[in-house]
Amino acid sequence: MSLEQLEVHESHGGKLVVYRHDSVETKTPMTFSIFLPSQVAAGENLPVVWYLSGLTCTHANVTEKGDYRRACADLGLIFIAPDTSPRGETVPDDAAYDFGQGAGFYVDATEAPFAENYRMYSYITEELPALIAANFPVDMTRQSILGHSMGGHGALVIALRNPVYRAVSAFSPIVAPSQVPWGEKAFTGYLGPDRATWATYDACALIAAGHRVPDILVDQGCSDSFLSGQLKPELLRAACDTAGLPLTLRLQPGYDHSYYFISSFMDDHLRWHAARF
């Protein structure tokens, strides 16, 4: 599978590169960014950190505003940021910001007309890792995953369902999408009315069903306008407490849902991940 290089930038002694490729899963071109620290030049196979973005975002949001490159350069981490959904004129969409293009919710859709293209779960867990492993000096025995909002939901679900990830963390995650308006809308449209199917993409439901990770780190801004209506971190705390799953939930006074918040704590998260490699 060929990679088309769209951008390349020197940064902190390494390279930030943006690529596009034709995806088998989504049947569309997909774009991702990858930061390759200077240790790559020495021939080392390095750990991989996957970052999943939130509603309305592309790979570019964290790439340009996430402030992760210095920490990755210091720690020797490859950082990969994929897009949030398939895109294109022929890809089904919705007029609202919280469904359709830019809002793939990291599921494999089963409902028409979305099932043809919206296969972000398999894209993130299977296709893109295979592409990365074939083209870059990565140590796939040392992977971790984090994300923001919808991407925090995706990171938690993917880590809980796939034990290959050594660490998982999130900024302002949607922890129980089956119980909030964003998730109910997306899951109905992508997965249909069967809530048993929804539970396979719901972090709190997965924990209740016995899925485990070693521990979880979550940062949540206390001034986040979506806190009480869509994010509900208290549900994750309750699920983890019941399951005996270690959770570090840090409520950050004054912080909102933006990249001002994310960039303020990105270094902490990356160092937390690196300690688990």
Q: What are the CA-CA distances from residue 139 to residues 36, 128, 129, 169 (Å)? A: 13, 14, 11, 20
Number of domains in the chain: 1
pLDDT-derived band at 1, boundaries 50, 70, 90 = low
The residue segments making up the domain with residue 120 are 3-275
Straight-line distance from the first to the last Cα atom of the chain, in angstroms, rounded to the nearest whole number: 29
- Kindly report the pTM of this predicted structure: 0.98
Residues with a catalytic annotation lie at 149, 224, 257
The pLDDT tens digits of the residues spanning 214-260 come to: 999 999 999 999 999 999 999 999 999 999 999 999 999 999 999 99
CATH classification of the domain holding 49:
3.40.50.1820
Judged against a pLDDT cut of 90, whether residue 29 lies above it is answered with yes
Query: Which token pair is 271?
Result: 């160092």
E strands, the chain, are 4-11, 14-22, 29-36, 46-52, 78-82, 138-148, 165-171, 216-221, 247-252
